């Protein structure tokens, strides 16, 4: 067995990115994908990994305002970009209005997919559009799979959040200063 | 929920917030919403190492030679295991729910001489990163001798089929079991009509969004193996690991904190759990493995695949005289810990009164991924068959399918009633659910209308599916008779703390079923303490009493009793100690929120924090009282409880193409006394979604020539998305069960049962003039089109029952 090098020999690249309002510089293997970078290097384990194929949507985060599947991005592609994960949503001890609505509507069961729905909805809320219909919400969240809830309550929660929080763009996108 | 009908006298006052019957907010939600859940892959011990597994690419192959030398030379690779090392160090994986009469197969964590399915582990490697471990797999050289394989479950039973385990068996029939009573063959012979059919059930998989994962750490000096694993049954994993690794149970701690969905798939140990432990013990370092999705499709369990030859005999008025099912059920290449679904036999007659009947199960080995438990566990399979045949019978006799069902259902006044396989249905009003479904879907108006196309060219049909769902187990004695390695009870420990709260310790891990919430509701309700200060600690064998675990819709029906007993015991002691402090009679005191107070004299009260602190320190307690405020209770319900209901689907079909849409779906369901209505509705909706997936879009397909899984990825295996599900209308009745505490019935699995039959019956109703009789799942536009256009393959053969007398149903299911 090899004992010469415990870390193995992989070339490394440097990436500088803003995650939840904080600038991060890290050296990473080029093949490290963004979801593993967030989870393993930054300890942001709220972003989950379900298929590493871009199909299940568990790893959805917001990059520069867009919901993206972080397993399909390499960590080095985050260079110069701004990333938001589920850990940025709660305000101190309080769930934010979107999270609170998910709780009240029983929009989660095992909770593994929940961060992905929250980030998908957060990105949707930032697009500055009016209240989507239930059908539109269903189409918008169809990129995230859930095996527990049957989706009905997820749709209801997002619909209610849009209806009750017209100021959601501000809720959903606090400034980097506020996040620090 | 839209409607609640409560036939029994129940209190009309609203339930107390957090108590039984209230929609208490979930205990689990805050951490999960913040991304602060602790799933197994989130556990990252210091200096952890990472495992990767090389898997057999063939369905059936002899492993001739394994060369790992190049992999071992790769920088960062620390340990490699091959089959011979595993054989020397371990026992075969145990079966927790064996098939009666089945021999034990030598199922080791790594393939020995022969691998029997694509994806079976052959070599495992540990390195300093997952990337390097997977790089190392590329450097391993294995010579395989491909062997003849068999994929089809019926072909596997043919005399010329290649035998998977010739050292143990001379065919692929692992075991056959028959359960029944009466003389069904005589009833068949004298019946006015016998309807029969062969029903093929598709191979699907539970597909929890969190794949399996394990983190193993070994401290040899302390003889302490700590295993974080994504499982529904931490205590059964601990027991199994002790057996496989030849350790004492006391050497092992299993922790399953948050589990990202189980659905029956995460029951018992899998090969990778054993491998991670072996590596960790060899290296004295933490070893972690997280299954990737491609592995999940091949190395976690599949479910449901079976072929059922069903018959129903009836008289001219449609009264059922007999019902039989001879079926071959696929178990894949090995007998996984939960193996073959047993409930296909138990509830062969569904909600219908049948005195003469039997089910014969043939558990069959094929060169495919092992079959395991999946939500519903045999019940969706037979529901599809008997409910399709009920409609066939109605058409044959020109009877209304709703009236035919109603006339044959077990009547409320006849319950409890023992079915032909010995299952005792406890209570319920099956017909009322059927009538409610018929009314909600608009059956009366539809029934007599001609089946003519709508303006859009589509034909519309309505279909029904009535069902019972066995929840929990009959008894420990019943389980013992069938060789099961667990009990019918559930166990909890309640321990008061000095903050004035109660900690609940349970071996039932949190996998989305909301047991933390429901457990806290029961404790709050029984004890009188505020819901907010009850905290449930789940899934750690080091702190929880030995229990059975979360499966078979059994958690609440058993745990509710244990929680009630323990909470009652603590409440009695709390009142006695408070009486001492308040110089009052315990009988005059009550617990309310955070205090114990006098019922009649206001201001005479003491906080729970003070009472609990006194008990914990032993200071200031009355003479004769022991210190401490803790209770452990084990509770076995007197029997299994049967949930029940009826679903109705309204489906439009394009008779030219076979395309169809489920335009309405009504589910009427009874889960007995409801602990939390919001959670119950969530369970029904989630199970229906899985039921629709299995009925319409999901099927694991194997290439018969290569024996390989064709669609083993999320891209190719279609689980329903938010945009795919039909609108679901839920109705509800509430008949308390007499066999469980509070009258609860299990609720986890019912939704998986009726979608296939209800949708198929609706399509067949719409296409009645085309003579369409669907008999296979999944139902797709193509399968409907094949039926319409006469291109469907039909078979004339059927499985014959084994000769000999029917065995009695024994002690009953």
Same domain, A65 and A114: no
- Chain B CB contacts of A72 below 8 Å: none
Under 8 Å CB pairs connecting chains A and B tally to 206
Confidence of residue A129 (pLDDT cuts 50, 70, 90): confident
Best mutation target among A2, A30, A102 (most B Cβ atoms within 10 Å) is: A2
Same domain, A136 and A118: yes
- Give the closest of A29, A103, A109 to B512, CB-based: A109
Q: Is residue A8 part of a domain?
A: no
CB distance A66 to A90 below 8 Å: no
Best mutation target among A106, A117, A138, A154 (most B Cβ atoms within 10 Å) is: A106
Count the domains in chain A.
Answer: 2
Torsion (CA) B7, B11, B17, B23 in degrees, nearest 10 = 0
**Residue A11 confidence (pLDDT):** 86
Do the Cβ atoms of B690 and A9 come within 8 Å?
A: no
**Residue B808 confidence (pLDDT):** 47
State how far the Cα of B196 lies from the Cα of B798, in Å rounded to an integer. 10
Q: Is residue A52 part of a domain?
A: yes
CB distance B40 to B256 below 8 Å: yes
Buried (b) or exposed (e) across B119-157, using 16+ Cβ within 10 A?
Answer: bbbbbbbbbbbbbbbbbbbebbebebeebebbbbbbebb
- Chain B CB contacts of A52 below 8 Å: 292-293
Same domain, A18 and A61: yes
Q: How far is B261 from chain A (nearest CA, A)?
A: 6
**Cα torsion angle, B296, B235, B347, B672, sign:** negative
Query: Where residue A121 sits, what CATH number does that domain have?
Result: 1.10.150.120
Same domain, A134 and A79: no
- Give the closest of A8, A86, A109 to B75, CB-based: A8
- Give the closest of B78, B260, B687 to A112, CB-based: B260
Q: Is residue A7 part of a domain?
A: no
Task: Spell out the domains of chain B, with CATH numbers in brackets.
Answer: 4-37+489-635 (3.30.365.10), 40-147+211-259+266-299 (3.90.1170.50), 306-475+638-788 (3.30.365.10)
Q: How far is A105 from chain B (nearest CA, A)?
A: 9
- Give the closest of B33, B210, B688 to A102, CB-based: B33
Same domain, A83 and A127: no
Position A2 pLDDT exceeds 50: no
Q: How far is B71 from chain A (nearest CA, A)?
A: 9
**Residue B696 confidence (pLDDT):** 98
Same domain, A17 and A83: yes
Which of A88, A121, A140 marks a domain boundary?
A: A88
Strand B417-418 to B77-82 pairing: unpaired
State how far the Cα of B585 lies from the Cα of B598, in Å rounded to an integer. 9
- Chain A CB contacts of B41 below 8 Å: 39, 45, 48-49
Do the Cβ atoms of B32 and A111 come within 8 Å?
A: yes
Which of A36, A59, A88 marks a domain boundary?
A: A88
Which residue of chain A comes nearest to B296, CA vs CA?
Answer: A51
Strand B77-82 to B49-55 pairing: unpaired
pLDDT digit string (tens) for A75-116? Answer: 999 999 999 999 999 988 899 999 999 999 999 999 999 999
Q: Is residue A25 part of a domain?
A: yes
Which residues pair with residue B371 across a beta bridge? B302
**Residue B756 confidence (pLDDT):** 98
**Residue B16 confidence (pLDDT):** 83
Same domain, A112 and A167: yes
Same domain, A77 and A143: no
Same domain, A84 and A113: no
Same domain, A62 and A110: no
Which residue of chain A comes nearest to B677, CA vs CA?
Answer: A106
Q: What are phi and psi of B243, to 5 degrees?
A: -65, -45
**Residue B2 confidence (pLDDT):** 40
**Residue B805 confidence (pLDDT):** 58
Buried (b) or exposed (e) across B302-335, using 16+ Cβ within 10 A?
Answer: bbbbbbbbbbbbbeeebebbbbbbbbbbbbbbbb
Do the Cβ atoms of B77 and A48 come within 8 Å?
A: no
Concatenate the DSSP letters of all residues of B712-772 into one string.
-STTTS----TTTPPPEEEEEE----TTSGGGB---SSGGGSSHHHHHHHHHHHHTGGGT-
Which of A61, A88, A115 marks a domain boundary?
A: A88
Do the Cβ atoms of B79 and A1 come within 8 Å?
A: yes
State how far the Cα of A121 lies from the Cα of B722, in Å rounded to an integer. 14
Tokens of B286: 């933490």
Domain that holds residue A168: 97-172
Which residue of chain A comes nearest to B511, CA vs CA?
Answer: A110
Q: Is residue A179 part of a domain?
A: no
**Residue A10 confidence (pLDDT):** 73
Same domain, A55 and A114: no
Tokens of A56: 């299940």
Query: Cβ of A109 under 8 Å from any chain B Cβ?
Result: yes
Query: Cβ of A86 under 8 Å from any chain B Cβ?
Result: yes
Same domain, A22 and A60: yes
State how far the Cα of A167 lies from the Cα of B576, in Å rounded to an integer. 55
Q: How far is B767 from chain A (nearest CA, A)?
A: 29
Do the Cβ atoms of B685 and A7 come within 8 Å?
A: no
Q: Is residue A178 part of a domain?
A: no
Query: Where residue A60 sits, what CATH number does that domain have?
Result: 3.10.20.30
DSSP B121: E
Which residue of chain B comes nearest to A105, CA vs CA?
Answer: B678
pLDDT digit string (tens) for A8-58? Answer: 567 899 999 999 999 999 999 999 999 999 999 999 999 999 999 999 999
Question: E strands within B333-489?
Answer: 356-365, 417-418, 424-425, 459-471
Q: How far is A36 from chain B (nearest CA, A)?
A: 11
Ranges of chain B with pLDDT below 50: 1-12, 808-813
- Chain A CB contacts of B23 below 8 Å: 106
Which residue of chain A comes nearest to B207, CA vs CA?
Answer: A147
């Amino acid at each position: 067995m090899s004992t010469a090098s415990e870390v193995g020999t992989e070339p490394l690249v440097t990436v500088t990115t803003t995650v939840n309002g904080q600038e991060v510089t890290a050296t990473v293997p080029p093949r490290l994908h963004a979801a593993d970078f967030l989870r393993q290097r930054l300890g942001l384990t709220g972003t989950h990994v379900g298929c590493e194929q871009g199909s299940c949507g568990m790893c959805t985060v917001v990059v520069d305002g867009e919901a993206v599947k972080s397993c399909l991005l390499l960590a080095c592609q985050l260079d110069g970009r701004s990333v938001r994960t589920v850990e940025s949503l709660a305000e101190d001890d309080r769930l934010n209005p979107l999270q609170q609505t998910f709780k009240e509507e029983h929009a989660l069961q095992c909770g593994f997919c929940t961060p992905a729905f929250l980030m998908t909805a957060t990105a949707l809320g930032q697009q500055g559009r009016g209240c989507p219909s239930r059908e539109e919400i269903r189409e918008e969240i169809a990129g995230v799979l859930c095996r527990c809830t049957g989706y009905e309550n997820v749709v209801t929660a997002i619909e209610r959040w849009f209806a009750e929080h017209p100021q959601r763009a501000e809720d959903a996108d606090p400034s980097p200063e506020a996040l620090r | 929920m839209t409607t609640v009908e409560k036939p029994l006298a129940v209190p009309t006052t609203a339930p107390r917030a957090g108590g039984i019957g209230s929609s208490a907010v979930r205990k689990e939600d805050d951490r999960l919403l913040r991304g602060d859940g602790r799933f197994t892959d989130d556990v990252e011990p210091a200096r952890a190492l990472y495992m990767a597994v090389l898997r057999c690419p063939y369905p059936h192959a002899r492993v001739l030679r394994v060369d790992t030398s190049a992999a071992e030379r790769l920088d960062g690779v620390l340990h490699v295991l091959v089959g011979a090392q595993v054989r020397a160090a371990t026992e075969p994986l145990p079966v927790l729910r064996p098939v009666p009469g089945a021999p034990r197969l030598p199922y080791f964590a790594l393939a020995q001489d022969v691998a029997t399915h694509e994806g079976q582990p052959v070599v495992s490697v540990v390195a300093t990163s997952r990337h390097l471990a997977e790089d190392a797999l590329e450097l391993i050289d294995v010579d395989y001798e491909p062997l003849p394989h068999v994929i089809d479950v019926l072909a596997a039973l043919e005399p010329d089929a290649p035998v998977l385990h010739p050292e143990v068996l001379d065919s692929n029939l692992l075991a056959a079991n028959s359960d029944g009573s009466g003389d069904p063959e005589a009833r068949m012979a004298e019946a006015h009509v016998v309807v029969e059919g062969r029903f093929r059930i598709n191979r699907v998989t539970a597909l929890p969004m969190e794949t399996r994962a394990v983190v193993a750490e070994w401290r040899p000096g302390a003889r302490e193996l700590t295993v974080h694993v994504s499982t529904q049954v931490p205590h059964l994993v601990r027991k199994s690991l002790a057996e496989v690794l030849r350790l004492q149970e006391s050497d092992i701690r299993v922790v399953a904190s948050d589990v990202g969905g189980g659905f029956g798939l995460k029951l018992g140990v899998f090969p990778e759990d054993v491998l991670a432990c072996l590596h960790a013990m060899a290296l004295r370092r933490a070893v972690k493995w997280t299954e990737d999705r491609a592995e999940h499709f091949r190395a976690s369990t599949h479910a449901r695949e079976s072929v059922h030859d069903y018959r129903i005999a009836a008289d001219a008025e449609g009264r059922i005289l007999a019902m039989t099912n001879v079926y071959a059920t696929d178990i894949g290449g090995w007998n996984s810990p939960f193996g073959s679904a047993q409930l296909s036999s138990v509830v062969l007659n569904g909600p219908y009164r049948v005195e003469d009947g039997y089910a014969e199960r043939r558990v069959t080995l094929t060169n495919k991924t092992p079959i395991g438990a999946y939500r519903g566990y045999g019940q969706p399979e037979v529901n599809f068959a008997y409910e399709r045949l009920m409609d066939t019978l109605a058409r044959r006799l020109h009877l209304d399918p709703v009236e035919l069902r109603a006339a044959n259902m077990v009547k409320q006044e006849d319950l409890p009633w023992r079915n032909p396989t010995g299952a005792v249905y406890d209570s319920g009003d099956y017909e009322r659910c059927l009538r409610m479904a018929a009314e909600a879907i608009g059956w009366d108006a539809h029934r007599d209308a001609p089946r003519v196309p709508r303006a859009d060219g589509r034909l519309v049909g309505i279909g029904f599916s009535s069902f019972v769902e066995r929840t929990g187990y009959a008894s420990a004695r019943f389980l013992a008779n069938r060789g099961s390695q667990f009990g019918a009870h559930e166990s909890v420990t309640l321990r008061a703390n000095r903050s004035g709260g109660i900690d609940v310790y349970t071996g039932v891990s949190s996998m989305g079923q909301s047991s933390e919430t429901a457990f806290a509701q029961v404790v709050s309700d029984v004890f009188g303490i505020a819901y907010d200060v009850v905290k449930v600690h789940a899934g750690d064998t080091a702190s929880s009493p030995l229990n059975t675990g979360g499966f078979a819709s059994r958690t609440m029906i058993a745990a509710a009793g244990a929680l009630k007993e323990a909470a009652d015991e603590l409440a009695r002691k709390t009142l006695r100690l408070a009486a001492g402090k308040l110089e009052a009679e315990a009988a005059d005191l009550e617990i309310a929120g955070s205090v114990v107070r006098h019922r009649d004299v206001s201001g005479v009260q003491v906080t729970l924090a003070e009472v609990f602190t006194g008990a914990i320190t032993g200071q200031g307690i009355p003479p004769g009282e022991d210190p401490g405020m803790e209770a452990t209770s084990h509770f076995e319900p007197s029997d299994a409880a049967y949930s029940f209901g009826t679903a109705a689907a309204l489906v439009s079909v394009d008779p030219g193409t076979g395309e169809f849409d489920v335009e309405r779906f009504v589910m009427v369901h009874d889960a007995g006394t409801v602990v939390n209505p919001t959670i119950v509705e969530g369970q029904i909706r989630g199970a229906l979604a899985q039921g629709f997936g299995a009925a319409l879009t999901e099927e694991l397909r194997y290439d018969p020539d290569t024996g390989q899984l064709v669609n083993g990825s999320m891209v190719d295996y279609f689980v329903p998305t938010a945009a795919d599900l039909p609108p679901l209308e839920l109705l509800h009745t509430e008949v308390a069960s007499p066999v469980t505490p509070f009258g609860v019935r299990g609720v986890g699995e019912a939704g998986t049962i009726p979608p296939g039959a209800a949708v198929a019956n609706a399509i067949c109703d719409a296409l009645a003039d085309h003579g369409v009789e669907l008999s296979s799942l999944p139902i797709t536009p193509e399968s409907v089109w094949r039926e319409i256009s006469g291109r469907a393959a039909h078979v004339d053969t059927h499985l014959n029952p084994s000769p000999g007398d029917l065995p009695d149903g024994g002690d009953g299911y």
